[in-house]
Chain A
Amino acid sequence: MKRLFGVFVNGLIVENPLFVIMIGLCSSMAVTTTVANGIGMGVALTFVLVMSELIISLFRNLIPESIRMPIFLIVIAAFTTIMDLEMKAYFPVLSKSMGVFIPLVVVNCIIMGRVEAFSSKQPVADSILDGLGMGIGYAWVLIALSVVRELLGNGTLLGFQIMPSSFTPMIFFILPPGGFLVFSLWMAASNDLRRKLLAGRKPEPTQDSCCTLPDNGSAEKA
């Protein structure tokens, strides 16, 4: 139980896909101009990630090594399309405002990375929790980025005017450079917290071990 919990929290800070593994950055920069988009993208990616990890973990012994990549891609693409259709049918406004980034979840490196590094080798329960942890790790960063960017760049939060009318929106924060700045500040804060969490526990995992994850979660068990 403790091991499974460890797998889940792992993705939040210690191995946050955006701040520590540093994959899937493009979509995080592009959609975080409004909080609604950040939440939508976070939920969408979490759904695709959990479902793909579940299916691939279930079939991990039936996937030949030499053609695993195309099979991963078929599974990921199928779930992305399912989510795209469901969003178009039931959340048309959100689907419209996120435009092309929903279909592009297919090529989000986080999904390919986790499927390849984790769920193709780990049991189903671990894989679901890893997907959930990584998905929430991705989503909270998106929300954190978009809160700052929407508030300073547009003066609103979730579309509601927050800043007084005398406030002139700083367009810089909506533009890519502002996105990078906000991203780096949040990353500094998050990685500082990560260092404190890991201090006095175990030697900090090297970059290699965090991405291949041979005995992931066992750190918690020890």
Chain B
Amino acid sequence: MKRWQMIKLGLILAVYTIVGCVGLALVYNSTSKTIAQRQEADLQAGLREVFPKATGFTLRVGKGTVKSPNPKIIFGAAYTANGPSGPLGIAVKVAGSSYGGTTTLLVGVSTDKTITGVKILENKDTPGLGGNAASPTYYVDKATKMTFPGQFAGKKLTDGFVVKKDVIAITSATITSRSITNLVQVVGKAVSDTLDLGGSPQAPPSQGRSPVLPSADSVRIASKAATSNVPGVSILETLVGTKAGAIVGAAAKAKANSYDGDVTVLVGVSTDGTILGVQIVEITDSQGSPILAPGFARQFAGKKAGAPLEVGTNIDAVSGATFSSTAATQLVKATAEALVKALAGGGL
């Protein structure tokens, strides 16, 4: 009898747990998109803050990423800050430990090896003490209204980064001040090493043949970028494919938000508006990786850019990744339409 009693109690507990989990899942589903959007907006605002003069930012991929010299300091995404006349420098997202947990910063370093700005994205230190690092109204120098991260702007990498010597500490929060200063210096050094290795902040131009433009014998960067009027779609790179000097098509790399991450695709369109090839370049959704399988992207080839590309109608979703499949399909359609418009507009 006692055993049955125990099993009964276990089952009752399980019922409460399941109901709790279902409730949480519903709330998570309804808020996760907003939270992801907030974080993305924070990141964009942060990038503009650390590179006030930049006109745009490009995510660095492959060899362009900046490597952390210390396994305890984790480098996130790195971005090239583009100015009106070429790249201005590199911004890196970095996470390292501080007094109350992980602190995440965005650090901008210009090509002349000067810190352009530091923005604190996340800080878990004591509110009112170390937490002041992230406060926009806490000034380490009241006369000039300089915040703690603000004092790094314009600092040369050759300077010392010593708290209480050339870095003003936050009152009663020396550990926070030191760890942030250290993170800024580590990023500065790593970016400077990347620049020394010839890793020019410019993304390497994609020359030669392109898999999404099989009919072209040479591919160059377009002199006029394609633009999409679909909200949330950003075209990162526009390419033109030529055969014996004549334009046969155009391709573009584009990025948009997906379920809980984002998706990047490469789309090639011929001059008559047919999609020649699609590549899913990157998907950061937690469950999205199945759409990287070549079979998914292959479905688009040969379809007209103007056709109603829709998951469930003429595009099959990858099972288990319906959200990511839908987001990728919408992005491919928007990019293809933008390319058709750009090809029609001429001047590429």
Contact = CB atoms under 8 A, between A and B. Distances in A.
Contacts of A90: 34
B23 A30 contact: no
Interface stretch (B10-18, B161-169, B191-199, B265-273): B10-18
Nearest to B120: A96
A40 to B, nearest CB: 10
A164 interface: no
B131 A78 contact: no
Given A99-B124, A101-B127, A159-B137, 16 more contacts: A64-B9, A66-B9, A74-B16, A74-B17, A75-B20, A77-B20, A81-B24, A85-B31, A86-B27, A92-B42, A96-B123, A96-B134, A99-B125, A99-B131, A153-B128, A174-B172
B38 A33 contact: no
B342 to A, nearest CB: 37
Interface size class of A (residues with CB under 8 A): 35 or more
Interface size class of B (residues with CB under 8 A): 20 to 34
A171 B13 contact: no
Contact of A33 (B16, B35, B128): B128
B34 A89 contact: yes
Nearest to A31: B127
Given A92-B38, A153-B128, A82 B16 contact: no
B27 A85 contact: yes
A81 B24 CA distance: 7
A1 interface: no
B143 to A, nearest CB: 10
Contact of A82 (B27, B34, B100, B137): B27
Given A67-B12, A70-B13, A156-B137, A82 B23 contact: yes
B101 interface: yes
A71 B16 contact: yes
Contacts of A75: 16, 20
Contact of A97 (B23, B34, B131): B131
Nearest to B38: A92
Contacts of A92: 38, 42
Contacts of A3: none
A122 interface: no
Contacts, number: 87
B207 interface: no
B31 A171 contact: no
Interface in B122-143: 122-129, 131, 134-135, 137, 142
Contacts of B38: 88-89, 92
A65 to B, nearest CB: 10
A98 interface: yes
A90 B30 CA distance: 12
A90 to B, nearest CB: 7
The winner among A74, A165, A175 for most chain B CB atoms within 10 A is A74
Nearest to A66: B9
B44 interface: no
A34 B126 CA distance: 11
B127 to A, nearest CB: 5
A37 B129 CA distance: 13
B138 to A, nearest CB: 8
Contacts of A174: 128-129, 172
B127 A37 contact: yes
> Which 9 A-B pairs rank lowest in CB-CB distance, beginning with the nearest?
A33-B128, A89-B34, A78-B20, A89-B31, A99-B124, A85-B31, A174-B128, A82-B27, A74-B20
A96 B125 CA distance: 10
19 contacts: A30-B126, A33-B126, A34-B127, A34-B128, A74-B17, A74-B20, A86-B27, A86-B31, A88-B38, A89-B31, A96-B122, A96-B134, A97-B135, A99-B123, A99-B124, A99-B125, A149-B128, A154-B128, A174-B129
